[in-house]
Structure 1
Amino acid sequence: MSSSSDFVDQVDQQVVQNGNGKPEWIGAFLQRTFFDCCSDHPIRRNEKNRYCINCDLSACQYCMSSATHRHHKILKIYRHVYKDVVSLGSMEKYIDCAHIQPYKCNKRLVVALNPLPHSGPTSNTETSCDICNRRLAEPDLYRYCSISCKVMAFERKSSDSLPPFLSTMSLKKDLETEEPKHKRKGKPQRAPFF
């Protein structure tokens, strides 16, 4: 009999990596529609604003609270400027969100699933998304306006020698290979009081 942690580890290997650093579920996730009413729960606050990575389905909060999703990986979807966004902290657990422009939504940093409408196209390529040419607020820090733009850039990458930047597993390997930083020698001494 296998434990729930064995099941989660097994799903981690299947869901997170498909050999090239791109999670298998990310394409289906970006194509989903959210915030429709749940037909299984005809009650108040039943919009489909959750995504189960393991089952590859969008559902409402009542569906996700059932026992079938107990040990599954769940993402909560939010609305920002009439577009679907996900919490940056939640998404970083599953993909590398580096170089994706975050936005502030209700005091929370979020990343857009698809390009937001208010960041219209710009003629200056230095200040825009590498894929869709939408304006970036901080182009010196970010290269993409949404998760879908980063996925497209990943799919267009010129060679397999480039690092797989969608996988969190590659991040863990990079962190393990970094040299440890040396700590300060000794204890800091306070200046004497006169």
Structure 2
Amino acid sequence: MSASSNFVKQVEQVIQNKNQKPEWLEAFLQRTYFGSCSLHPIRRNEKNRYCINCDSSACQYCMTSTTHRHHKILKIYRHVYKDVVSLGAMEKYIDCAEIQPYKCNKRLVIALNPLPHGGPTLNAETSCEICKRRLAEPDLYRYCSISCKVIAFERKSSDLAPPFLSIQSLNKAEKRKKPLKIEQPQHKRKGKPQRAPFF
């Protein structure tokens, strides 16, 4: 087998893997978080971490052990009493394009499952394609949560549809960025300050 044909097979395998849902994702979405850790009965022991390699939820003390030292870890946050994950952290593992981000403690997060606020809307153009929940920016996003995008991916009609794991195009990344604020120049005092004359 020549080196070029071997390389072509590797590229084809990478493309096929990009068109598949990650194995750990289904378990990640179904897991419950923020329960107390039975291994560490001390303060602040809620299970708010997910280890992709071990496919398990754990507390911050579990993650400091040597078993998780070089593993891929996701931290789960709470937003409107629902589980969310940092957009920046999740983008390393799946394509998060077209998922509505939310602001949580000065951090952009995306919901694991649909959030309770922004209930169903009658206008299909301004709502999530799967659960019909209202989207804040329907011209930029199509889904309200990761689980809605997973359902849409499973329903896709052909392999020509955009893959679930893909590198974001520059245009989508630019659309999501907020426009830069142009700082107005500050007006300086006119001339030099002058003292009142001494009489």
The TM-score bracket by the shorter chain reads 0.7 to 0.9
Give the percent of matched residue pairs that are identical in Structure 1 and Structure 2. 83
Q: CA deviation at 1:18?
A: 4.9
Return the match for 1:171 from 167, 171, 178. Answer: 167
- 2:73 corresponds in structure 1 to 74
Q: CA deviation at 1:119?
A: 1.5
Q: Which amino acid aligns with 2:19?
A: N
SS class of match (2:167):
helix
Structure 2: stretches of 5+ with no match in the other structure: 1-12, 171-199
- 1:43 corresponds in structure 2 to 42
Between 17-26 and 55-64, the greater mean CA deviation after superposition = 17-26
SS class of match (2:148):
helix
- 1:34 corresponds in structure 2 to 33
Q: Deviations over 1:136-188 (max 9, x none)?
A: 00000000000000000000000112221x21xx317x78xxxxxxxxxxxxx
Distance in 2 (CA, whole Å) between partners of 1:153 and 1:147 is 10
- 1:137 corresponds in structure 2 to 136
Q: Count matched residues.
A: 156
- 1:62 corresponds in structure 2 to 61
Work out whether 1:103 is the aligned partner of 2:102: yes
Distance in 2 (CA, whole Å) between partners of 1:106 and 1:52 is 23
Distance in 2 (CA, whole Å) between partners of 1:144 and 1:19 is 20
Q: CA deviation at 1:19?
A: 6.4
Q: Do 1:18 and 1:24's aligned partners in 2 also have CA atoms closer than 8 Å?
A: no
Change over 3 Å in CA distance of 1:68–1:116 after alignment to 2: same
Structure 1: stretches of 5+ with no match in the other structure: 1-12, 176-194
List structure 1 segments (4+ residues) > 6 angstroms apart after TM superposition.
Answer: none
Q: Which amino acid aligns with 2:78?
A: R
Q: Do 1:34 and 1:84's aligned partners in 2 also have CA atoms closer than 8 Å?
A: yes
Distance in 1 (CA, whole Å) between partners of 2:41 and 2:160 is 51
Q: Do 1:86 and 1:110's aligned partners in 2 also have CA atoms closer than 8 Å?
A: yes
What is the RMSD computed on CA atoms of the aligned residues? 1.7
Change over 3 Å in CA distance of 1:71–1:111 after alignment to 2: same
Between Structure 1 and Structure 2, whose CA radius of gyration is higher?
Answer: 2
